[in-house]
Amino acid sequence: MTVAYLKEMPSTPSIPSCTSGMRSVAARLLGAGTGTRPLSFVGSNGVGGRSASGSCHAGQSRALVNYDDDRGTYIIFNIADSLFIRDLNYRRPVKRICFSDMKPLCHAFDSEAKDGHDLIVGFLSGEVYSMSLRQQLKEPGPEPIALQHFFNTNSRCTGVAWVPGHEGFFVVSNADGNLFVYDKSKDVNTDWTFPTVEDQSEMKISYAKSSKSNPVARWHICQGAINAISFSPDGTYLATIGRDGYLRVFDFAKEQLIFGGKSYFGALLCCSWSTDGKYLLSGGEDDLVQVWSMHDRKMVAWGEGHKSWVSAVAFDSYWSPPKPYERKQNSMHRFASPKSDEAEEDPIYSFASPKSDETKENTNIMYRFASIGQDAQLLLWDLTKDELNVSLTHASSCSESSSSGSCSASSSSGSSSTEDRDKEFPLGFLHPSPRLQEVPKLSPEVAHLVGVEPLFTLEFTSESVITVCRRGRITTRPREEIDNETETDQQHPGSSKLVIGNGTGNYSNPSRGCSLVCSKTI
């Protein structure tokens, strides 16, 4: 599922006036929404995933609102051989694009595409198409129009992503462990063959025979499928998640592996970047959420709370640490966004004295993120300064004879710390799974049980949280309703629909949660 935000077209139709770029797995493609209420958890991954909806009839293309102004926030999702486009504010899809016998699997939107082709779609056959989302919305029929076809191998597409800051470039990952780099400006009908990969376990980059060919390069990354890809917000780094259980982070322009790390068990399934590009989330078949540091080139924290595979993770890209002395009156609204100008007028905000323990707790929080799993849970997490400081000063290995499991901390300067890191973890180093007791453990702040079906897709807008379950049901949950349910939990514990951390580090069992009634479900 992809969330696309279309702004008003400029007077010159050839160049859109959008200012929000593609963000992916993380890089973010989310619509900013139209509301101004202070809200909380936000984030998204720019790589489309498996998602569906069962409420649209075949051939339906009736628009519910007027789309001639080329503005709005849309949800894009696939079912069988069709791609559906739904206005975020309406229950039913406004457009169906039918590809006959071809099955779309993944898609990505770029609001800064200057040639109008802002939507790319990857298929089960390995083929890739680009198109204009605006043109598809204006076309009354279900047939796609003005498509540009890009050739690919016969291996199914597992992810597509635009390269932030590089106009016209995008990448496509495949189930055979290959990743292809495309340039929209180059010919799609020239010879694009690449040498045979002899060693499937070896990473190798090959280039097209001609400078006019498309794709321009092939990256063979791993043996087995690439499950997810995600660009850092500035487009410098590319993260890949493999069936082999490894996270790999590359310097995209230099075509260089920076570092990698392995899961504790099974494959990794998802990843997402923080908005500043300093941290990376991953999750998979070990039921854990891992936090990776770009500075340290290793895992710096792990989170336990899911009872099954972690399907999607996302940082809250709209949240920022609160200002000094700014806090909420109570913990029930701790997930509301502190960035809104309306916060000072909202009665749930107030100013605390410098000695307030709650103020210290709030200002200690550096990042917020969310995860969903096949246990049907939506978990909300905080990453604090204390946990990051422990990670930064943590020794590379703990003394096995220490009963407390504590490690000696180093107080070296920044330069010597960098030198030590480069010496201990050189570029291209693939980490084995660290011992759990050597890495700080996180616990979820909120555990929200969304129905009974496994969840596979998580997207956030500024006003809502969107999840998709295995049956294809899309659930849009307004942020204020989450806060309201939290208030109910504190006032009437027996009727709780949210499981909330008590601030002591001992969190309630997430399995105690129950399904919430959602305002928009299709």
What phi and psi, each to the nearest 5 degrees, are found at residue 130?
A: -120, 150
Comparing 367 with 306, the larger pLDDT belongs to 306
Give residue 265's identity as a one-letter amino acid code: F
User: In this predicted model, what pLDDT tens digit does every residue of 286-302 receive, in sequence order?
Assistant: 999 999 999 999 999 99
Structure tokens at 266: 């099974």
Q: Which of 164, 270, 282, 191 is nearest to 227 (CA)?
A: 270
176 sits in which H/E element: none
For residues 507 and 443, what is the distance between their CA atoms, to the nearest angstrom? 7
At a CB cut-off of 8 Å and minimum separation 6, what does 103 contact?
Answer: 78, 80, 81, 123, 124, 125
Q: Give 332's DSSP letter.
A: G
Tell which residue, 347, 345, 338, 342, has the closest CA to residue 365. 338
- At residue 7, the pLDDT reads 66
Going by C-alpha positions, the residue among 459, 300, 430, 431 that lies closest to residue 372 is 459
Instruction: Work out the widest C-alpha separation in the chain, in whole angstroms.
Output: 71
Average pLDDT over residues 450-467: 86
pLDDT-based confidence at residue 184 (cuts at 50, 70, 90): confident
Lowest mean pLDDT among 10-24, 260-274, 360-374, 416-430: 10-24
Q: Output the pLDDT for position 400.
A: 39
* Better-scored residue on pLDDT, 60 or 481: 481
Q: What is the pLDDT of residue 375?
A: 94
- For residue 220, give both structure tokens: 């063979």
| Mean of pLDDT over the chain | 71
Between 269 and 405, the higher pLDDT residue: 269
516: tokens are 């919430």
The CA-to-CA distance between both ends of the chain, in Å, stands at: 14
C-beta of residue 230 within 8 angstroms of C-beta of residue 271: yes
Measured at the CA of 53, the angle between CA 52 and CA 56, to 5 degrees, comes to 135
Q: Closest Cα to residue 127, out of 97, 107, 98?
A: 107
Q: Tell me, what's the pLDDT at 68?
A: 46
Q: Which helix (H) or strand (E) holds 392?
A: helix 385-393
d(CA 245, CA 439): 19
Tokens encoding 424: 């201990």
In angstroms, rounded to a whole number, what is the distance separating the alpha carbons of residues 388 and 384?
6
Which range (162-171, 424-433, 456-465) has the least confidence?
A: 424-433
Contact 136, 130 (CB under 8 A): no
Mean pLDDT, rounded, for 402-415: 38
Report the length, in residues, of the chain.
Answer: 522
Separation CA 134–CA 505 (nearest Å): 48
Nearest alpha-carbon partner for 233 in 45, 490, 445: 45
Counting residues of the chain whose pLDDT is more than 70, the rounded percentage is: 63
For residue 14, pLDDT over 90 is answered with no
Q: What is the pLDDT of residues 56-109, one digit of tens each?
A: 333 333 333 344 445 688 889 888 899 899 888 777 788 899 998 889 999 999
Write out the DSSP string of 180-201.
EEEETTS-SSS-------S-TT
How far is Cα 385 from Cα 367, in angstroms, rounded to an integer? 9
The tens digit of pLDDT for each residue in 243-279 reads 999 999 999 999 999 999 999 999 999 999 999 999 9
For 16-37, b/e burial (b = at least 16 CB within 10 A) is bebeebbbbbbbbbbbbbeeee
Q: How far apart are CA 371 and CA 173, in angstroms?
A: 23
pLDDT at 24: 32
Q: How confident is the model at residue 188 (pLDDT cuts 50, 70, 90)?
A: confident
pLDDT given at position 398: 43
CA torsion sign for 487, 490, 494, 499 is positive
The answer to whether 302 and 291 have CB atoms below 8 angstroms apart is: yes
Q: Is the pLDDT of residue 444 over 50?
A: yes
Tokens of 473: 């049901």
Q: For the chain, give the percent of residues with pLDDT over 90.
A: 32
Backbone Cα Rg of the chain: 23
Is the pLDDT higher at 488 or at 398?
A: 488
Question: Given a cut of 80, is residue 483 above it in pLDDT?
Answer: no
C-alpha distances (whole Å) from 154 to each of 124, 126, 173, 194 are 8, 5, 12, 14
**Does residue 146 register a pLDDT over 60?**
yes
Report the distance separating Cα 290 and Cα 450, nearest Å.
22
78 CA to centre of own chain: 18
β-bridge mates for residue 371, sequence order = 313, 379
226: left (phi over 0), alpha (psi -120 to 50) or beta: beta
Higher-scoring residue by pLDDT: 425, 369: 369
Name the percent of the chain in helix, strand, coil, to the closest 5: 10, 35, 55
| Residue ranges of domains in the chain, CATH in brackets | 224-319+364-392+424-484 (2.130.10.10)
Point out the least confidently predicted range of 195-204, 401-410, 425-434: 401-410
Q: Is the pLDDT of residue 467 over 50?
A: yes
The residue that leads in pLDDT, 471 or 60, is 471
Q: How far apart are CA 199 and CA 246, in angstroms?
A: 18
> Is the pLDDT at 186 greater than 60, yes or no?
yes
| pLDDT of amino acid 159 | 95
